[in-house]
Structure 1
Amino acid sequence: MAETSIYRVPTGMVLLRGEFGAVGEAAAHVAGLDVPEQRRITGGPERALAWMSPDELMLFCAPGAATGLAQALEEKLTGVHHLALDVSAMRVRFRVTGPFVREVLAKLSPADVSPAALPEGEVRRSRLGQVPAAFWASGTDSFDVVCFRSVSDYLEELLAHSAAAGPVGFF
């Protein structure tokens, strides 16, 4: 049986909050990406923009780029009520890959992670175990997971335990 891999992906992250139209336009301009639709993520593995809530976006970028992007967003949004903050030190991004990756997540989350309910590029905010997390299918056999750094060791072990238990034959 093919093995599931769980590894940390060094990632810069910029949290952006405010009136969605204004912050979305600014983020798209600064990041060079399309504004994501509700519950979606645009871009690719190097730089992506995710819809997190009706007034929140998350910009994923190279580890050293987040501070500069947050400053560029601050300048672009001068006069607009917003928050643009480098949260790279607060969050961790994991990539979980393998042939039964959806089952690894399904065993831990109340969210429906079936391909029909969670297609590639759709972001889900839920929990894995008791840990708040955001996750999305980043490929056929790949999911990205973001959580707070303070619980990242626990979540990494939880994901590993779920993967080690093997598939349950649901997906």
Structure 2
Amino acid sequence: MPESMLEPVSPLMGAISEGALTVRDAGPTGMIALRGDLSDPAFTGPVEALAGVPVPGVWQASGSDTRALLWMSPDELLLLMPYGEPRSAAPRLQAELDGQGVFALVQDVSDMRVRLKIEGSQMREALARLTPADVSPAAFRAGSLRRTRIAQAAAAIYVLSEERAEVFCFRSVADYAFRLLSGAARNAPDFEYF
């Protein structure tokens, strides 16, 4: 069967856990890891042109549900886009940066990570049960991102609003992360800490 006819599949197969909060598999998402000098316009210019959004500040994200740039470290961004786009976009951007003599790494990581969505008024309480990161509203506002852990798994947490967050983790721990988040969300209203 030609590759173009295969449908992408998430390792969680669209899993949803509903209770006090909703935890759901966001499904296949296009992701490009970008490493370079975030203060160099020769790097950020082509990245912003591809993303369609500005490079975010430290511990921030910019964009929308379908297309966003996430600050991952002082020299790394994660570009989110519709699944399938990175296959051609990543090599094209790498070639453009190479052609300008810009030192950068552009890698399609769409099949390496999963994206989980958490929704509900006690979202922060559920996350606080699993991560050492300060998830209080004062420290972790909407539009903020943290690379941290949830229990024993490396993860990034992106807060979209007071009732919505996304967790990114490696595909190999997708089921573990989903079960952790689902369990923490089950009794979240009992907490009412934030």
SS in 1 for 2:188: coil
Give the distance between the partners of 2:111 and 2:78, measured in 1 at CA.
14
Residue 57 (structure 2) aligns with: 37
Which protein shows a greater Rg? 2
Residue 142 (structure 1) aligns with: 164
Give the distance between the partners of 1:134 and 1:77, measured in 2 at CA.
27
Give the distance between the partners of 2:129 and 2:51, measured in 1 at CA.
35
Aligned residue type for 1:83: L
* Contact 1:12–1:65 (8 Å) recurs in 2: yes
Task: Pick the aligned partner of 2:102 from 75, 80, 90.
Answer: 80
Gaps of 5+ in 1: none
Residue 81 (structure 2) aligns with: 61
Per-residue deviation, residues 8-38 of structure 1 (Å, max 9, x unmatched): 1131100011222243222101111111111
Q: Number of residues paired by the alignment?
A: 170
Per-residue deviation, residues 40-67 of structure 1 (Å, max 9, x unmatched): 1000001000111111010000011122
* Contact 2:20–2:187 (8 Å) recurs in 1: no
The TM-score with structure 1 as length reference comes to 0.95
After TM superposition, where is structure 1 displaced by more than 6 Å over at least 4 residues in a row?
none
Residue 32 (structure 2) aligns with: 14
Give the distance between the partners of 2:58 and 2:163, measured in 1 at CA.
23
What is the alpha-carbon root mean square deviation over aligned residues?
1.2
Following TM superposition, by how much is the alpha carbon of 1:6 offset from its aligned partner in structure 2, in angstroms? 0.8
Following TM superposition, by how much is the alpha carbon of 1:161 offset from its aligned partner in structure 2, in angstroms? 0.6
Gaps of 5+ in 2: 1-18
* Contact 1:16–1:23 (8 Å) recurs in 2: no
Residue 124 (structure 2) aligns with: 102
* Contact 1:30–1:72 (8 Å) recurs in 2: no
Structure 2 residue 149 is matched with structure 1 residue 118? no
Give the distance between the partners of 2:25 and 2:174, measured in 1 at CA.
9
Q: Percent same amino acid among aligned pairs?
A: 42
Residue 156 (structure 1) aligns with: 178
Give the distance between the partners of 1:62 and 1:83, measured in 2 at CA.
20
Aligned residue type for 2:50: V
Following TM superposition, by how much is the alpha carbon of 1:106 offset from its aligned partner in structure 2, in angstroms? 0.5
Give the distance between the partners of 1:69 and 1:39, measured in 2 at CA.
25
Following TM superposition, by how much is the alpha carbon of 1:7 offset from its aligned partner in structure 2, in angstroms? 0.9
The TM-score with structure 2 as length reference comes to 0.84
Following TM superposition, by how much is the alpha carbon of 1:148 offset from its aligned partner in structure 2, in angstroms? 0.4
